[in-house]
Amino acid sequence: MVIYGVALLSFCMIAGVFFGELIGYLIGVDANVGGIGIAMLLLIFIANKNSKNLKIDNITKSGINFWNAMYIPIVVAMAAKQNVLAAISGGWMAITAGVLVVILSFLAIPFLYKFVKTKES
Amino acid sequence: MIEILVNTLIDNSIITAFLFVGVVTYLSYWISKNLTAGIIHGSAIAITLGLILAYAGGLYEGGTRGLADIPIFAGVGILGGAMFRDFAIVATAFGVDLKNLKEAGMIGALSIVLGVILSFFIGAVVAVLFGYTDPVSITTIGAGAATYIVGPVTGTALSASADVIALSIAVGLIKSILVMIITPFVAPFIKLNNPHTAMIFGGLMGTTSGVAGGLAATDPKLVPYGAMTATFYTGAGCLMAPSVLYLIINLMF
């Protein structure tokens, strides 16, 4: 049933966010540490287990795939609720820092990738 | 009549948001096809349009949640809020190849730590160039250059002034918005077309919203890989900025 897929997704998210909060609490950080990442790993793990004893049928899958397909629309809504005004009114310092961070981080991506590739070979 | 319509839209806020996003998406794909000959992807236009509307909403209503502060668009704030965003991000993990993830696991972790350090020091250097001399302000602004959550968390932990905390949020917001807009254009030059690079990208940028928006407009298949590392970044930043990184700044000033 479709709800099984949605419920499985919800279970993974709640479990992941819970562990993220727990890790944050244990290391004394006031933030969720990787909760969504843990939730994703949990879902991947369950989906890969699927073939053996636990069967996720196509209708159940459609409950997950619907939310997968809703990803871009949700991102569009997310863009529409950003505090763009505050970002721009942060002044030149905020703009300079933001622009430099983005440019230099983009430039660092190929370097890091090459570094990994040469280490592997 | 108008009042009844407005009330209907407000009372069914999330449904109004579905309709709103559907209309924005339709318009964006129309613009993509007819005005850019398909060169600029429809999702990239939709996200940019969303940001422009958010700016307009901020001007009109003066709130902090862009378009979502206008009552009839309140549902956009819920649909685009962290809860649904994270739910959809988790859903993208369905169908991820475990092999790719294992191969890139180490580099993903490495890129998160490097990403926090790189962003932090760029932010700190800019703060110094703009005349900040006290370690707490420099650290807070550096933390804001990581993400707009790391900034205020660090600032609060170190009791930075409200102005500096606001500034650190602004730096993080600029970063997140820029990543959303320019990623699809930069992607071909940095070979952002495979799971490995996507994980490095997520780890170096770290802003979940920026990475989520940027990859959506580049190649939705890469979303889970970038999001995976990005979701660990804020936690790593909140851990490192008020502790190790603050100590380093404190030694220098």
More confident residue, B146 or A117: B146
The pLDDT tens digits for A39-84 are 999 999 888 876 656 678 889 899 999 999 999 999 999 999 999 9
Question: How far does A1 lie from chain B, in Å, by closest CA?
Answer: 17
Is A3 an interface residue toward B (CB < 8 Å)?
Answer: no
Indicate if A7 and A61 belong to the same structural domain.
Answer: yes
Indicate if A64 and A89 belong to the same structural domain.
Answer: no
Indicate if B201 and B244 belong to the same structural domain.
Answer: yes
Burial of B236 (0-12, 13-18, 19+ CB in 10 A): buried
Question: How far does B2 lie from chain A, in Å, by closest CA?
Answer: 24
Give the mutation candidate from B14, B90, B140 for the A interface (greatest A CB count, under 10 A): B90
ipTM for this model: 0.90
Residue B180: domain span: 98-252
Indicate if B49 and B102 belong to the same structural domain.
Answer: no
Triad A52, A53, A57: Cα angle to 5°? 90
Triad A42, A45, A46: Cα angle to 5°? 85
Indicate if A89 and A113 belong to the same structural domain.
Answer: yes
The pLDDT tens digits for B44-79 are 899 999 999 999 999 998 888 999 999 999 999 999
Give the mutation candidate from A43, A68, A81 for the B interface (greatest B CB count, under 10 A): A81
Beta-carbon contacts below 8 Å between A and B: 312
C-alpha A12/C-alpha B178 separation (Å) is: 31
The pLDDT tens digits for B19-40 are 999 999 999 999 999 999 888 8
Question: How far does A42 lie from chain B, in Å, by closest CA?
Answer: 9
DSSP B136-194: HHHHHHHHHTT-TTHHHHHHHHTT--HHHHHHHHHHHHHHHHHHHHHHHHHTTTTT--S
Sign for the pseudo-dihedral over CA of B45, B175, A103, B195: negative
Structure tokens, B226: 């970038």
The pLDDT tens digits for B157-216 are 999 999 999 999 999 999 999 999 999 999 999 999 999 999 999 999 999 999 999 999
Q: Which of B54, B80, B106 is the last residue of a domain?
A: B80
Residue A121: domain span: 83-121
Burial of B27 (0-12, 13-18, 19+ CB in 10 A): middle
Domain count for chain A: 2
Query: Which spans in chain B are helix H?
Result: 2-11, 13-35, 42-61, 74-79, 82-92, 98-103, 105-129, 135-144, 150-157, 162-186, 195-205, 208-218, 223-240, 246-252
Q: Per the domain annotation, does A96 fall within a domain? A: yes
